[in-house]
Every structure is written in C-alpha cells, then in structure tokens.
A = this chain, B = another copy of it.
Amino acid sequence: MQSEQQYLSQYDPSQFEHPSVTVDILLFTIKDRKLQLLLIKRKEHPFIGKWAIPGGFLRMEESADEAAARRIREETGVKNIHLEQLYTFSSVNRDPRTRVLSIAYLATVPYGKLRFQAGEGADEAGLFAVDGVRGESVTARPEKELSAEAGTLVLTGTEGDVITGSDLAFDHEKIIRTAVQRMRGKLGYTDLAFGFVEDLSSFTLTELRIIHEAILDRSLDIGNFRRTIKREYEATGRIRERGLEKGAVGRPAMLYQLDRSSMRDLTAPF
C-alpha cells in the first residue's frame, strides 16, 4: 500500500487535459440614477473590436476571489469593494479558441471611486446603462435559460451609443442577464445596495433609494421606502443618524452612517 506521502510526490497533474479558467468581472456602478456596467472593447482575437466583460486568466497561485480583485484593480484602480461570485459558465463551445471556463464575479462600486486606467496598453473601457432585463428572480440554471423570458438587452454608452446583447463577445449577454437578475433578487434581503453608496459614514436615505430604483428599474414610494429601511436597519442599530446634510437644495436630509461591524458580506479581503 502506498502512503499518502508517496502518492502525493508521484501525482502528475498533467496526465489529463485541463480546461482554461478565466475570471470575468461584472462591475456595476450607479450614475445618473441608472445602473451601469463596465465593458471593454476587445483588442485581440477572438471577437476583436466587440465589447466584452473584462476578465482574465486565473493564475495558479491565486483563488478566483483574488483573481477577480486583482483584475478590478488592474482595470479601474479600485480596491475594497463588494465582490461576490455569480456563476460559473462552462458550455463547451463558449470560447472559439479552446475550452474555457469562466467564473463570473459581481462587483458593486460607488461611481466616485472609479478611476479608469487610461494610457498605454490600457483597454478602451466604457460604462453602459443596462436595460431590457425582465424579472427579479435568481434562476438556477442560467445556461439553459430560454429567450422566452428575454426581451432585448440594450446597453447605452456614456456618449449615447447603443449596443444590444447580440453585439457582445462570447456568451456575455447571458452573463449580464444573470447578473442583473441576481442583483435584483438579492437586493431585498442583503446589504448589496450599500456597495454603491459613495460614503458609508455619511449618506442619505434618498441616495439609498435612488440606488434601489436604479437596480430594480422602477420608482419606489418615498415614504414606504423610508419606513422599510428604518425598520430593517435603524431599529436594529445597523445604521445611525449622524447629523444634517448641508448646502443642498431643499430641506436638508438626515445623514446616516452604516455600522461597519454589523455588515454582512461587504468587506472584501484585499
């Protein structure tokens, strides 16, 4: 009988062919009261010239979480944001080069933190408002999702340029739909919305409501929203009043502060 030591020293990982593994990032932000997604224009084959979700190959010495965080830093200079795994896409022919798995991640970033890495070697990047995704449910099997539920995915760039889902590289249309549905589904029972707040130690309930409205793509009743948030967060001490806003138009709003120690899932490990 072989010992575990012997076994491990003789193990040859290259005896089978392995798929490539990439990490793809759905980086969302909220700007102009709309949910916007970061896309890059591909400079290489395949799908050269098409818009795509940024991503990169997983390195042997990093976990998928770490790879996702690294890619976000490389692309936008942003650290310390909410990041969560979305789904792993694994259809055999989703990449024309070879077998490529993609572990998709969902990132939420306040717009003010975004810095595009301009300059040499940087990809052309852009924010696109996302429209045309129906439904608020998290589906169990995104890769089998039928177009019944679909509608046309419309992405509107900052300069008003419009592309549709079928203009995207790879299976990225499907990935984006999955991400938007997931965000909507989780909005109600997680702290997801706080990932978009510009300053967690000083925000108004209106800012928070606008975030919810952007994600759900519908307007919410002001009074009911306040009541719900206050019950869920203020009553349990997870947000606290912090004084009045200054210098704004109209009646000054109460500023709130999130108790970071009570945060569920928002502190990233990097």
- A residues touching B (Cβ–Cβ < 8 Å)? 2, 4, 7-8, 11, 13, 16-21, 44-46, 48, 57-58, 60-65, 82-85, 87-88, 90-92, 96-99, 101, 103, 137-141, 143-144, 186, 189-190, 264-265, 269
Contacts and interface: CB of A to CB of B under 8 A. Distances in A.
Given A18-B19, A99-B13, A84 B140 contact: yes
A146 to B, nearest CB: 11
Q: How many copies does the complex hold?
A: 2
Nearest to A99: B60
A64 to B, nearest CB: 4
12 contacts: A2-B45, A7-B44, A18-B21, A60-B99, A63-B91, A63-B92, A64-B101, A82-B140, A83-B141, A84-B140, A88-B88, A137-B190
A18 B269 CA distance: 24
A139 B265 contact: yes
Contacts of A64: 88, 90, 101
A141 B4 CA distance: 31
Give me the 6 closest cross-chain CB pairs, A-B, nearest first.
A84-B140, A7-B45, A18-B18, A64-B90, A13-B98, A140-B265
B61 A90 contact: no
A45 B91 CA distance: 30
B18 A20 contact: yes
A41 to B, nearest CB: 16
B45 A8 contact: yes
Given A8-B45, A19-B18, A141 B84 contact: yes
